[in-house]
Amino acid sequence: MKPVRHPDAPAPGELLGAHYEHCFGCGHEQPHGLHLEARAGEGVSLTAEFTVQPAHQGAPGLAHGGVLATALDETLGSLNWLLRTIAVTGRLETDFVRPVPVGTTLHLAAEVTAVAGRKIYSTATGRIGGPEGPVAVRADALFIEVKVDHFIDHGRDEEIKAAMSDPDRIRRARAFEVNP
């Protein structure tokens, strides 16, 4: 089925913010994290950016492939906020097209392509040199809708209790929205 943007989803252009401050992908409290920032797009799409730091190296001066896959996964996972669905990554198929040097800002674009029951299909590209620059990485993903119990049953008690005690209701809910 064609994906449908939730009526309460952030407006196009709105910064989505971190779903959890300690998330390696988007959290600002994660010192070596990606600090990826995503903005809602039209329909069920978004754009995101992150700048490759020295801590993200694999080969000297180049981004580690696992870090690039994480950036794609985080971007794709953020799409679920537009559906207002709690989901986890079921499959992530990644293509590495060209190297991404340290200091480069990766411009990511993602969209949900289909929804079938609990399955959410999506695709993303990462470009260097700007949003219209050459493709460096791309991915297709399958996310699976889960209940919040998934995180409570499998996460560490300390972090779960800390997230659940956050007085901000929206941050509390978003901490459990996606597990890329």
**Is residue 105 helix, strand or coil?**
strand
Per-residue pLDDT at 180: 41
Q: Is residue 69 part of a domain?
A: yes
Distance CA 21, CA 124 (A): 23
**Count of other CB atoms within 10 angstroms of residue 106:** 25
Per-residue pLDDT at 82: 94
The CATH number covering residue 131 comes to: 3.10.129.10
Q: What's the average model confidence in pLDDT over 148-159?
A: 62
Condensed to tens digits (0 to 9), the pLDDT of residues 35-77 reads 899 999 999 999 999 999 999 999 999 999 999 999 999 999 9
Helices (H) and strands (E) in the chain, counts: 4, 7
Q: Is residue 4 part of a domain?
A: no
Q: Is residue 2 part of a domain?
A: no
Distance CA 134, CA 128 (A): 6
Per-residue pLDDT at 32: 86
Question: Higher pLDDT residue, 170 or 9?
Answer: 9
Q: Is residue 92 part of a domain?
A: yes
The pairing of beta strand 45-51 with beta strand 37-40 = antiparallel
Q: What's the average model confidence in pLDDT over 104-113?
A: 97
Q: Is residue 56 part of a domain?
A: yes
Per-residue pLDDT at 179: 45
Range of the structural domain that residue 137 is part of = 14-172
Per-residue pLDDT at 86: 85
